[in-house]
Amino acid sequence: MKPSWHILICVLGSALLVSCGAPGVPIPPSLELAKPVTDLRAARKGDKIYLAWTVPSRTVDRQSVRHPGATRICRSLEVPVTDCKNPAAEVPASQFPLPGPGSTRNKTPAPRVEASYTDILPKQLQEQDPTAEIVYAVSVQNESGRSAGLSNQVQVPSAPTLTPPDHFRADVKSDGVLLSWDCRPTLAASDVIAHRMRIYRREQGKQTDTRVSDANLVACSQTQPANQMPEFLDQTFEWEKHYDYRATAVTVVAEPGKPEVEVEGDDTPVVQVFAHDVFPPAVPTGLQAVFSGVGQTPFVDLVWSPDTEADLAGYNIFRHEEGSQPVKLNSEPVKTPAFRDSNVQSGKKYFYSVSAVDERNNESARSEETSEQVP
């Protein structure tokens, strides 16, 4: 039996409806324009500008960045930067790792990938206007050299910096670590620019620095005597520890009505120091001996001027008779500058001296002797 024509037409019509589908708005291809960087940071040391930022992982149309282009480093004396037609540098995309895709199922963002770039600041920019600010921005391009715009903008001082002092050295002395350096014959003269010598100390094995000096840096003559070379005595360290010292010349811009701006120059080579205390305290002075004992058990009282060293542990007391060697009377250091010798005999003459000892058992020479006759 042949199918009727109206059934065949219905079947064909249904098939056409299923195969064609409903019409929709066509989706344009992504332009691959990465979102502009929003966390650009900058720090200056000497003539180097250290830039860092997070590599964009998404485009402006909320797609994952798949084919990034170069990143332009924009530098200008104009605030704000309006374009990056003449970038200071152009870093290819291969220099920066591409962030991986996040998880759409768990709504996990793509992992952060940090990028960095070091710009060398030209001398002419430093000297053009020492009180100006230099502005930086970055522009992330796509493969066609197009960008969604500049990043946030950061500023660094343009003031010129000094080279580090020559022959920075450290010598351990009894009263501290003496830091010295060669004379700097000339300094830039300006009403708004000054220079300081900044010295840092770091205990070996630690990650933090301690600023131990920030004194004004003054000019001096090449023919200045060696005993008048610039120096600084660090007395804030701890004995028996290893330290690294470094120094840098700091440029300070102080314009009237504005906060001071500082720029550190490059560092000297690190100088290593072992603060080993081999220095005895000062020799005690002013020793006196006085006999007492009329009507009681005889004794000799000793007094002397106190030593003032911070690490003083005490004193040792020595006694001898005529023609014999001194013998120490105390078993432990005497804490105060006084001592009573009760082990004396009538008719004898005793000679006394005193030494000072510190916490690391460094002992001074003995004081001048004094004597006392026991009746």
For residue 127, the domain's CATH number is 2.60.40.10
Do 213 and 123 have their domain in common?
no
Beta-bridge partner residues of 292: 299
Does pLDDT of 29 surpass 80? no
**Tens digit of each residue's pLDDT (9 = 90 or more) over 317-335:** 999 999 999 999 999 999 9
Sheet strands side by side (includes 370-373): 327-328, 312-321, 349-358, 370-373
Alpha helices in the chain (DSSP H): 5-20, 123-128
Note whether 266 and 332 are same-domain residues.
Answer: no
Confidence of residue 283 (pLDDT cuts 50, 70, 90): very high
* Predicted local confidence at residue 31, as pLDDT: 78
Residue 118: domain span: 41-157
Residue 9 belongs to some domain of the structure: no
Gap between the Cα atoms of 237 and 243, Å rounded: 9
71 in a domain, yes or no? yes
How far is residue 139's CA from residue 49's CA, in Å, rounded to a whole number?
Answer: 17
- Cα 122–Cα 211–Cα 255 angle in degrees, nearest 5: 50
- pTM for the whole structure: 0.76
Closest CA to 197 of 211, 186, 209: 211
Residue 183 confidence (pLDDT): 80
Domain contains 30? no
pLDDT value of residue 28: 58
Q: How many domains does the chain have?
A: 3
- Residues in Cβ contact with 175 at an 8 Å cutoff, skipping those fewer than 6 apart: 233, 235
> Using one digit for the tens of pLDDT, what is the confidence trace for 210-228?
999 998 877 665 555 555 6
pLDDT over 70 at 83, yes or no: yes
The pLDDT tens digits of the residues spanning 154-186 come to 999 999 999 998 999 999 999 899 999 988 766
pLDDT-derived band at 205 (thresholds 50, 70, 90) equals very high
Summarize pLDDT for 57-78 with one digit per residue, the tens.
999 999 988 888 999 999 998 8
Contact 9/16 with Cβ under 8 angstroms?
Answer: no
**Is the domain of 71 the same as that of 151?**
yes
One-letter amino acid at 213 equals S
Residues 227 and 299 reside in one and the same domain: no
Query: Is 13 contained in some domain?
Result: no
Among 240, 274, 308, the domain-final residue is 274
pLDDT reported for residue 262: 93
Q: How far is CA 351 from CA 199, 314, 368, in A?
A: 50, 20, 10
